[in-house]
Structure formats: structure tokens, C-alpha cells
Structure 1
Amino acid sequence: MVSTYLSYLSVTNNLSKTLSAVASKGAVANETAYYKENIGKVTTVDEFMDNYRLYSYAMKAYGLEDMTYAKAFMKKVLESDLSDSSSFANTLSDSRYTQFAAAFKFVGEDTAAQTDVQQGSLLDDYESSFDEETEATATETAYYDSTIDKVTSVDDFLGSSRLRNYVLKAFGLSTDYTSTSFLRNVLTSDVDDPDSFVNQLDDDVYVNLAKAFNFDTDGTAGDPVQGDDQKSQVESMYAISVSTFASSSVGDAYTTYFEDTIGNITSVADLMADDKLVAYLRTAYGLSDSDPDNYISAALKSSSLATAIGLSDLHDAFNFDSDGELADGTTAQTSDQTSETTAAFSENYVTSIDSWIDDSVDNYKSRFADVTSIDDFLTSNADDDDDDNDDDAELWQMALRAFGIGSSEVTKTQFRKILESDPDDPSSYVNQLNDDRFTALRASFNFGSDGNTLVPLLAMSQSVIDDFVADYKENKIRYLTGTEATDASDAADTEMTYFNTQMATLKTASDVLADDRLVNLMLVAKGIDPDDVTDNELEKMFASDPDDPESYVSSLSDNRFAEIVASFNFDTDGNLSADQEGTVQQRGDVLETVNNYIRQTLESDQGDSNTGVRLALYFERKAPTISSAYDILGDDALYEFFTTTFGLSSYVSNMDVDKQADMITSFIDIDDLGDPDKVQDLIKRFTAMYDVSNGTTTSSAVTIMSGGATSISADTLLAVAQLKSS
């Protein structure tokens, strides 16, 4: 008769080939194909358990075949929240139940309008946009200031789109629809000729534009093309026009504009026609947004009305008659009055932009916590009754600003259509806009076509991330105790946090493979030494399809690599894809379940011929996961392996549990179970002792290994254990 050890070797010498042979058997292949094809259709625990083929397949895969009948019990296992230490599965001492529960996601993934990473990135961009705007304004103004003096003709000026657009923005004119020929006619008009082109337009904006330059009617530039006052006025107008927030530089620009312009005002009507001047006075004299502009015109004309509406200071700062005109020889303001007005503006103009930005960011975080739909997002400020937050930016407008999109470019309706769009559909609304800003905006949120929140698409689904980090920590501290265990646990926590955070930021397989910390964690989590795998091998693995049995990663003898690749939501091009996400089981979990089923079938088939081979195979598989003697005591098959290996009487099971644990550690150094060579030594001893116990062989070698006896009595062992513990 062939010895148990030789039978074991015949299976394990080419384990990959052996497993492939098992997988190709008719019944196994049929059940596996059925499982792969149908597990993705399941959405509830009841559906899963009512489908006996699926349910029994999974139960066998995780070594729970003998519990298939206990559906009520297993339902509680599957519905357990493994993140809760008090959940049903976590209270069971047998780790097979937590492994089974971890392989399925019936508890479900959490939906979120934004992940922490998405929100953090958006708010960082939002905050940065203010500095970027200030820098951009300064850059354009510096260019204009140094270049405009070099202009020698109107055509020279109009030929520079950068100069031309700067001036158009300064005067609030369209850079897209204002023609150069029209501008030429304006700039070469004689503003003193009532019949000139610009005066025939009857629009003060164009008259002021013509006055800002010294072009002759033939298009040649005067010397200079702009005087200092003209240049200063245009530059201040530009700063005011392009600014979207209050800042000290914008406040200075407003004051410069006011000082340059107020001397040219000859009536209240002139003043009220200039939006910038009106805005300046509103700030200087404390008018609220709800106060109409005619408060200003009324106060400028009438002292009694000004007093009645609390604007007597405004009235006293100007010299208009009751008809809104100026008396001969009188200016709108004296220099002292102008100084008083600019001082009032400086006092009232809010330049604490940093504080305002911080408040807006805090407001965004606070309100966004309650967002579960696009409706919530778009109305989050409007529904607020807290008057203290009335000045906070609208959340959706903050999002637009973060991506460099002006609030006037998109309506709320369009914004909604963007967020409802399918980013993977080339014909969706957002993709038809053909604007990277809008696609980036869409990618920053997780809303479905129905407007409700979705589970975020990550490089690795959150439940799978949780499994990886938990396995990583378990493997890092498995054989450690005391201070070593504490230090290793703290170090593992650091890596776990890093892994969790980074997985929310990665978009390609290359991103993952470029980070050694991520690679090390995922390999260690699967019990693989990172030093045993090259970067080139990993690249080939992630470029292959784990669902294709002929692919590179599927052809490897170690199926853990295929399980790792399948755990990511990447396609074979290495790009993030929702197509790779599973339902109640992610791809990696499906593959692991299938691999477990085939391994369980192999062990079961071998057990039909020789129970010893089955126990040896089982021990080989479980040894790396054993953390203490109690793991052996809690597993009947491992316990049988142990007692057989050391020729112990079955009566030892009657001993006190702690005494049994002491006995196990007196025979086996648990740390050795992480060493494949020492595991093989134990398997050799087991198979020899198994053959002795079953009358297969009585070689001298076996006699030596067994100490010349086939068993040790329970009484003797009890005495030894008591002596050891005393």
C-alpha cells in the first residue's frame, strides 16, 4: 500500500496541475460555472440562501458544508456587520464564520455624495482659486502696464488679443462678440465732435473707452498712447471687473477708480450711471443689499431725505443741488470730501477674505454632511433659517469656482444635468459639453441618474479595503506578544490608514504599482512576501484578466495573485471601471470562493481514499493562519492532526482547555507554523504516525519519531501539563 506521505506528495508536487484537474471535472466545472454566472444576480441574503446551488457551493468553499442545513444561523452570520465587534459573526469563536461573512457584502456599501478625498480636493481647489485669481489679475495687469506704452497705432493695439481683451474686460464688454473694426471706429473717434462715431452711439461706456486712449483719427497713437491717469483708471477698472471676491487689492482698485473718476462727474445722473461708483458709495456709507439705488440719488439731492433714511453723511460728502446738478464752478466733491469718502470706504470694505473663505469651507462641510441627493445639494443654503450664514457661498457655486467655472456659465438646471450624467457614456450630457472642467466636476460627486447618491467608485471597494487591511494587520502581529505586538500593531495601523486613504485617490493600476507601501500591504495581506515578487511580474499580472483562465495571472501556480488583481476595479487596460464592481460579492471574493471550493473538493476527494492525506492538505492550508494553540483546539481537524502527529491518546480532550493549550505549545512552537519547511516536517511526522495508527507501516524511522510508543496516556499528559504550569 502507498504510504500517506507519498500520496500527499503526489498531490502537492504539482498542486496547480492537481487543482486544475479537479476544476475541470464535470460536476465541479458545472457548479463553478453556475456560481460565476449567477452570484452577480443576487441582491439579498434570502435570494442567496433560497438558491441551493449557490448557497451550498459557498458553504463548501469556506469549509461549512456540515452547516448548510442551519439557514437561520447562517443568515445571522451573513447579516453581521464585521466592523462591529459585537455583531453575531464576530462573537463566534470559529473564524470560518467571519471569513464567510467577509466574502459577501449583504450589509452593503455606504453611499456618499462625496468621499473625504473628493471633498478635500474640491475644497483645496476652492481655496486655491482665490490666490490664483489674485495672481492672474496681477500678471495680466503687469503685462498690460509694461506693454501698452509700446503701442504705436490702433491696429497695433487691436492686433494684440491680450491687450485688447484686457481693455474689453475693464470696460465690461464682451471679448467674444465685440468686433475689432467696431473698436477701431470707437478708438479713433473725436470725442469732442458730437457727430463722431462714438458720440453717435449715445453710450457713455464707449465714450469713456475712447477717452482712455490717445489715438488720432488716422489710428496713430499719441505720445503717450495713455497718460498715467488713463492707464491707472483702466487698470483699476480691470481689477474691479474681473474680481469675484473682496480683497485689499480690489479695494485699492475701487478707491483708485473713484478718485480718478469722481472729478469728471457733473450730475447725480452721471454718478448713478456708473455701477462702480454706485457700488463704492454703497460700501462707504453702509447700504445693505436690500437698500435700493435710489436711496443714494435721493440722499445726494435732498438733505431732509438723506437724514430720514440715515444717509446724511453721504449728502454732506457731495455738492449737488436739489435738481441733481452742480452749480457753476462747483465740483462733485472737494478734495477733503473725497478723502472722507475714501476713508469711509476703507473702514467698511471687508477685506478679511481668509476668514470668509474659512467660514464658507466650514459651511460646506457642515451642510454637505446631510446631502443625500442633488436636490439637497442645490438647495442646501436656500432652506437654511440661520441668518448668520446668509453670506456664505452657495455650495454648488463653490463647486463651480473650484473647477474654474464662472457661476454665469451654468444654470442650476444645467448643473443638475451634469451631476446626473453617466461619465462613462460618451453621449451623456457632461461628455457632450467637451469641457474638461465639467468632466472633472462630475467626477467629484457620486450621484446617479435619479439624482440620489451612489456608492463611490474606488480603485478597491471599501468593503474589500477593509478586508485587506484587517488581514494585513493580522499577518503582521500573528506571532508577536507584549511590546513587540503593540509596536507592530501601531505600525500596521499607520500603513492601514495610508492604504485606506490612498485607495480613494487612485485611478489606474499604474498608480497602485508605483506605490511600494500599497503593494507591500496588499501582498502581506495575502500572506505573500513582497521580496518574492518583482515589479515586472506585478505589471504583467495587472495587465491580464483574472477572469480569463488563459491569462498570465490565472496561469500562475499561486492563485492568490489572481485574487489580488481581481480585488481591484480596474479593467485590463489598468483604468478604473464600474464594470469590474460586483454586487454582493466583488470579483476578488468570487475568485477566492471558487479557489476555495476547488481546494475543498480536492481535500474531500483525497479523503475518500485516505483521510490522512486530507488532514495533511488541510493542515498545510491552515497552518499559516494559526495564531495560538486555541486555534488548534477549536478546529476538530487540526486537533486530530496534532494528536496523531504526537501519538496522543484521544482522552487528552478531557483535560482542562488551558492545560490542553499548554500541552500543544510544549510540542509545537506556534511561530514555526509560518515557516513552510517546518510545516513540511510536521506533515512528514503526521503522515508517518497516521500510517502507524492505521496499520499501514511500522518502520524503524516511525518508531524513532514516535518515541517507541503509539500513544501517551491522558494521565501522563495531565501530570506533565500540571508540572509545567506550577
Structure 2
Amino acid sequence: MVSTYVSYLTVARNLNASLSNVASQATVARDSAYYKENIDKVTTVDEFMSDYKLYSYAMKAYGLEDMTYAKAFMKKVLESDLSDSSSFANSLSDTRYAEFAAAFKFAGETKTAQSDVQRDNLLDAYEESFDTEAGDIADATDYFEDNISSITSVDDLLSSSKLKNYVLTAFGLSTEYTSSSFLKSVLTSDLDETDSFVNQLDDEVYVNLSKAFNFNEDGLTDGDVMSEDQISLVTSAYAVASATIASSETGEAYDTYFAAQIGNITSVDELMSDDKLVSYLRTAYGLTDSETDNFISAALKSADIADAIGLSELHDAFNFDEDGALADGDTAQTSEQTAATTAAFDENYEVLIANTDTEDAVDNYTTRIASVTSIDDFLVSNDDDDDDDNDDLPELWEMALRAYDIDPDSVSRSEVRKILESDPSDSKSYVNSLDDDRFVAFRKAFNFDDNGDVTVPLQAMSESVVDDYATYYKQNKIRYLEGDEMTEATDAADEGITYFREQMATITTASEFLADDRLVSFVLEAKGLDPDDVTSDALEEMFASDLDDEDSYVNKLDDNRFAELVGAFNFDQDGNISAEPTGTVQQRGDVLETIDAYVRLTLEDDQGDSNTGVRLALYFQRKAPEISSAYDILGDSALFEFFTTSFNLSSYVSNMDVDKQAEMIDNFIDIEDLSDPDKVDDLIKRFTAMYDMANGTGTTSTALSILTGSATISADTLLAMAQLKSG
């Protein structure tokens, strides 16, 4: 008769071919196709368990066929919260139950406006935007100051887009729509000629712009193009115009600008035409938005009106007549009045600086975004919530836009709504029609469906799968370790998991993922694969494979784990994130794992029909890399029979104290050797020889009952057995 080991080798040495043969069997192929086609239609535990073909298929795949009848028991397993160590599935020492529960996501993915990573990335960008803004202002000013002295003609100035745009920004003019020819006419006008181009415009902004330079009518200069005072005026105006947050640097720029300009003001109308001066007065005298520019203008002209509307202090700080002009010899302010106004501004501006600390805004955002369930919630005003302390803080949507370098004043709430309702993956959607990557990035920072409700974050790898891979990775990293080694490995694994979670939330394409060696190594190790054995070119071919094509590269590999790994990602065949592969209660990778496990279990069943020893050997070969301690062998009846047979031990050893049994196993087997295929094969050789000696080839053993489930075991009995703890 053929020995058990030879029979085992016939299967094991051509395992992939053996599995393919099993998978192609009519019944197996039909059942697998049914499972693959229908598991995605299931949404609840009851639906799953009521479809016997699906339910029994999965139960067999995870080695729980003998528990198929115990639906109440298995429902508790499937409804367990695996993040809770005390949950039902986790309380069972038989890890098959937790593995089975982990393969299904009946609780569903968490719907949220933003994942933690999305929120944190947005808030980091928001806070960084202020440093970036200050740096950009400083860089632009340095460039202006370093290069303006080399300008000798108006054409020189206008030919430098950086210098020209700096000047336009300083004076509040459009960098996009202000033509160079128009600007040249302004800058070369004779201010003393009433009929000159700039004076005919009758706009103080253009007059002040012309005054800032020393160009002649021919566009040349007789000396320096700008004096130090003119440069100071323009640079302070640029800082004020560009800054969007109160800071000490902006406050100083405001003071410089006010001091430079106020002496040239000759009328209320001239003052009111300068937005920067008006803004300065609003801050200095504590004026709110309800006090319109008309109120300010009237108060500056009339003491009676100023008194009636509570702006007497403002009126008294200036010397305008009731017609808004100045009497001969008067200035808009005396030096004492200017000093008083500046002091008032500085005092109030310090309060603004304190109130613009981003910490409060970030805290408000973090609190409020957690309760957002729709776009309506996201766009609601701070004024409409119950916390009056939030009224002065920026709106959620304003903060979000700023984080993506978008000026909130340039986008209306209705436009924000249209953007957030758009599908960024649809090239014809509203957000893509804007042809601006900033808006696409802004849209992708949130998880709203086309009805405006929150949905599950679409990531390269779904959050539940990320959780699974984090668990697998940690298990593989700490297996066999104890004491300080365990502590160090746990800390290192946790650090790797943190990196994995954070980065996977940012990956948008397969190429991005494959470019990060640390991420690639992480997922390979989580699947029990050695990164050194896999080339970059091979990985690229795997991720370019069509998982539905049995002849594709990844499906032709001997190791099914590679296809399962590719299936764990939500990439389409072009390598882009897509919602299509994500699945419902099972992700695509979990479906593949289930089918692969079913085929493997069927192979072992078929072999067991002829020789139970072959079946036990195949079972041990499959389970050996997962064994972490002697208690894993004690908790698995088939593994325990493999052990007792291998070392010719009586079944009565099971009556010993459980710790004594574990000690005995450790004396016979170095558990770490089970990660070495060669040493596993040595054990299998020993087992098959002892099995043939004890039973004779083909003899039925108690293992057949254990593995086939032909012995009916009650749920209560199995539950009691499962309570055996590994200490």
C-alpha cells in the first residue's frame, strides 16, 4: 500500500494544481460561483443565515461546518464587536470563531463626514496656511525690495509680472483684469495736470498708485523709481491687503500705512475711498459691521450725527467740516490725534491677535464636525448653534476652504454645496468642471453622497480591512515572543500600524501605494509573506491584474495570498480608487479568502475520504504557521491528535492538567520551528510514519469525525470546550 507520506507529497508538492483540480469540480465551481455572486447582496446576519448555500459554504470555509446547525450560537459570533476583547467571539479560545466574524462586516463601515485622518490633515493644512501666508508675504516683499531699485522705466516694471502683481495687490487692484497698457497710463500721468489720464479717472486709488512711483510722462525716471517712504507705503499696503489673520506683523504694517497716508487725506470722501484706512478706523474705534461706511462718513462730517449714533470719539479724532472738506491750513489729523488713533488701534488689534489663535477654531471644528450628518449641518452658521462663544470663530466651510488654499470670500455657500454634492470620480461632475485641483482636493476631504448625507469614507483600503491587516501584522510580529522582547516588538508594531493607518487614508492610486516600500512591506508581512521574496515588477503586475480573469497574472501565481492581498484594495483595474470593489458585508479580498479556504477544506475532505492521515497532515501544514503556543495545539482537537500520533502518546494525556500538557508539548516541539517549512515537513514525515505504524494506511481514526463533523456535537458542549483558555 502507498504510505501516508507519499500520498501527502502527491498533493502537497503540486498543491496549486491540486487546488485547481478541486476548484474545477462541478459542485465546487458551482457553489463558489454562487457564493461570489450572491454574498454582496446580503446586508444582515439574518439574511446571510437564511440563505443556506451561502451560510454553509462560509461555515465550511472557516472550518466550522460541524457548527452549521447552531445558528443562535453563530449569530452571536457574527454580531460580536471584535474591537471589544470581552465580546462573545473574542471570549472563545477557539480562534476560528473570531476569524469567521472578522471575515464579515455586518455592523457595516462607519459613516462619517470625515475620518480622523481626513480631519487631522485638513486641520494641519489650515494651521499651516497661516505660516505659509506669512512666509509668502515676506518672500514677496523681499523680492520687491531687492528688485525695485533696478527698475529704470515703467516698461521694466510692467515686464516683471512679480513686481507688477505685487503693486496691484498692494492697491487692491485685480492682477487678472488690470491691463498693462491701462497701468502704464496711470503711472505716467502728470498728477499736477487736471486733464491727465489718472485725474480724469476720478479715483483716489489710482491717484495713490501714481503717487507711489516717480515715472515721468515718457515712462522713465530722473532718479530712483521709488523713495524709501514710497517703498514703505507699498510694502505695508501689500502686507495689509494680503494678510487674512491678525498678527503683530500685520498690525505694524497697518500703522505704517496709516501714518503714511493720513497726512495726504484732504476730504472724507478721499478717506472713505481707501478700504485700508476705513478698516484701520473700524478697529481703532471698535466699530462693528452694523455701523456701515455711510455711518462713518456722516460721523466724520457732523458732530451732531456722530453724537446721535455714538461715534463722537471718531468725529473728534478728525478735523473735517460738515461738507467733508478741510478748512485752509488744517490737516485731517494733528500729530496728537494721529497718535491717539494709532494707540487705540494698537490696543484693539492686540485683542484681535489674541482672538485669532487657531486653537479655539480647531477645537470648535473638531467638536462640530463629529456631529455633522449632512452638508446642511456642515454649512450651518456658528451663529445658529447654541454656543455663543463660537460666534466669532470661522465657519467650518471657511476653514476647510482655507486649508486648500481657496479664499472663502471667492466661493458662496451654494457653490460649496454643489462641490460637496459632486462626484470627484466623475469627469463631468460640477467639481471637475471647475478645472481646479484645489476644489477636487477639498471635495475629497469629505464623505457626502449625492443626497448630501454622510457616507463611508472611500479609501484605498476600507477601514475594516485596515483593522484586519493591522491585527494580522501585529500577530505576526509578536508571535513566539515573551517578556521584554514582546514589549519591544509590540511597541514597534504599534508604530508601524499608526503609520499604516495614516498613510492608507491618503493613498489614492495603486502606484502611490507601491511607491511606499514601508506600506508594501507592512501588507506583505500581514499576509505572512516575506517582502524580500517579492519584486517591485511582480507587485506591479499583480495590481494590474484583473481578479475576475482566472488567467490573469495574479490568479496564476502558486500562492493565493497575493490575489487576496490585491483584492483587499479598492482599486479598479487602472489603479484608481473606486467604490465598486468595496463590497457590503464582505470586502473583495475577504470573498477571495473565503473561496480559497473553501477549496482548501474541500481538498482536505477529499483526501480524508481515502486516508485520514493525509488529511491531518495537510491540516497541520496549513495551520502550523499560525500556531503561537502549545495552547493553540491543545485547543484544536485535530492538531492535538497530530501531536499525540507523532510522538506515540496515549490519548489519556488529555486527562492531565492543562498546563502540564502545554509543558509536555513544549518539550517535544519548539513552537518557533513551525514557521520553518522544512521543519514542518520533518514533523509531517514523523507523523505519517507513526500514523501508518499505528493505524495502517487508509485506516479511519477519530480525527475523521473531528474534521468532517460526522459526530454531532451540541453547541453547549462545543462552547464549553471553547472556554479552554490558553492562560
Alignment partners' CA distance in 1, 2:378 and 2:358: 19
Alignment partners' CA distance in 1, 2:86 and 2:327: 87
Alignment partners' CA distance in 1, 2:669 and 2:466: 34
1:63-114 Cα distance to aligned partner (Å, 9 max, x none):
1112222222222211211111122211222211111111111121112222
Alignment partners' CA distance in 1, 2:670 and 2:145: 81
Q: 1:548 is matched by which residue type in structure 2?
A: D
Q: Normalising to structure 2: TM-score of the pair? A: 0.88
1:505-524 → structure 2 map (5 Å cutoff): 505-524=506-525
Work out whether residues 205 and 273 of structure 2, in 8 Å CA contact, stay in contact via their aligned partners in 1. no
Alignment partners' CA distance in 2, 1:411 and 1:236: 29
Alignment partners' CA distance in 2, 1:151 and 1:483: 69
Q: Compute the displacement of 1:399 (Å).
A: 1.4
Equivalent pairs, count: 698
Work out whether residues 479 and 670 of structure 1, in 8 Å CA contact, stay in contact via their aligned partners in 2. yes
Q: 2:402 is matched by which residue type in structure 1?
A: R
Single out whichever of 489-498 and 19-28 deviates more from structure 2. Answer: 489-498
Q: Compute the displacement of 1:62 (Å).
A: 0.8
1:486-527 Cα distance to aligned partner (Å, 9 max, x none):
333333323223322222232333444444443343333223
Aligned residue number for residue 320 of structure 1: 320
Work out whether residues 129 and 401 of structure 1, in 8 Å CA contact, stay in contact via their aligned partners in 2. yes
Alignment partners' CA distance in 1, 2:25 and 2:76: 33
Aligned residue number for residue 247 of structure 2: 247
Inter-CA distance 139–681: structure 2 relative to 1 (3 Å threshold): closer
Per the alignment, in what secondary structure is the counterpart of residue 529 of structure 2? coil
Single out whichever of 638-647 and 223-232 deviates more from structure 2. Answer: 223-232
Q: Compute the displacement of 1:617 (Å).
A: 1.2
Alignment partners' CA distance in 2, 1:489 and 1:273: 66
1:295-374 → structure 2 map (5 Å cutoff): 296-297=296-297, 299-301=299-301, 311-322=311-322, 324-350=324-350, 352=353, 356-374=357-375
Single out whichever of 200-209 and 306-315 deviates more from structure 2. Answer: 306-315
Alignment partners' CA distance in 2, 1:260 and 1:165: 22
Query: Does the alignment pair 1:437 with 2:435?
Result: no
Alignment partners' CA distance in 1, 2:104 and 2:156: 71
Per the alignment, in what secondary structure is the counterpart of residue 206 of structure 1? helix
1:245-289 Cα distance to aligned partner (Å, 9 max, x none):
222332223222222222222333433343322222222223333
1:448-481 Cα distance to aligned partner (Å, 9 max, x none):
1111222222222221122222222223333233
Alignment partners' CA distance in 2, 1:421 and 1:63: 45
Alignment partners' CA distance in 1, 2:682 and 2:188: 100
Q: Compute the displacement of 1:624 (Å).
A: 2.1
Inter-CA distance 129–695: structure 2 relative to 1 (3 Å threshold): closer
Q: 1:203 is matched by which residue type in structure 2?
A: D
Q: Compute the displacement of 1:169 (Å).
A: 2.7
Bigger radius of gyration among the two: 1
User: Is there any run of 5+ residues in structure 1 with no aligned partner, and where?
Assistant: 699-726
Aligned residue number for residue 542 of structure 2: 541
Aligned residue number for residue 582 of structure 1: 583
Q: 1:582 is matched by which residue type in structure 2?
A: G
Alignment partners' CA distance in 1, 2:493 and 2:231: 63
Q: 1:522 is matched by which residue type in structure 2?
A: V
Alignment partners' CA distance in 2, 1:673 and 1:209: 81
Inter-CA distance 77–204: structure 2 relative to 1 (3 Å threshold): same
Alignment partners' CA distance in 2, 1:658 and 1:200: 101
Alignment partners' CA distance in 1, 2:193 and 2:696: 125
Inter-CA distance 222–558: structure 2 relative to 1 (3 Å threshold): same
Aligned residue number for residue 643 of structure 1: 644
Aligned residue number for residue 717 of structure 2: none
Q: Compute the displacement of 1:594 (Å).
A: 1.1
Q: Normalising to structure 1: TM-score of the pair? A: 0.89
Q: 1:596 is matched by which residue type in structure 2?
A: A
Aligned residue number for residue 283 of structure 1: 283
Aligned residue number for residue 104 of structure 1: 104
Work out whether residues 612 and 698 of structure 2, in 8 Å CA contact, stay in contact via their aligned partners in 1. no
1:325-348 Cα distance to aligned partner (Å, 9 max, x none):
433222222223222222222222
Aligned residue number for residue 630 of structure 1: 631
Per the alignment, in what secondary structure is the counterpart of residue 130 of structure 1? helix
Inter-CA distance 223–557: structure 2 relative to 1 (3 Å threshold): same
Name which structure has the greater RCO, CA cutoff 8 Å, separation 6+: 2
Per the alignment, in what secondary structure is the counterpart of residue 137 of structure 1? helix
Inter-CA distance 176–483: structure 2 relative to 1 (3 Å threshold): closer
Aligned residue number for residue 720 of structure 2: none
**What is the root-mean-square deviation of aligned Cα atoms in Å?**
2.8
Per the alignment, in what secondary structure is the counterpart of residue 357 of structure 2? helix
Q: Compute the displacement of 1:447 (Å).
A: 1.6
Aligned residue number for residue 394 of structure 2: 393
Q: 1:94 is matched by which residue type in structure 2?
A: D
Alignment partners' CA distance in 2, 1:133 and 1:517: 33
Aligned residue number for residue 420 of structure 2: 419
Alignment partners' CA distance in 1, 2:595 and 2:182: 74
Single out whichever of 505-514 and 64-73 deviates more from structure 2. Answer: 505-514
Q: 1:675 is matched by which residue type in structure 2?
A: D
Q: Compute the displacement of 1:218 (Å).
A: 4.8
Aligned residue number for residue 713 of structure 1: none
Aligned residue number for residue 135 of structure 1: 135
Alignment partners' CA distance in 2, 1:186 and 1:305: 37
Q: 1:464 is matched by which residue type in structure 2?
A: V
Percent identical = 69
Work out whether residues 151 and 221 of structure 1, in 8 Å CA contact, stay in contact via their aligned partners in 2. no
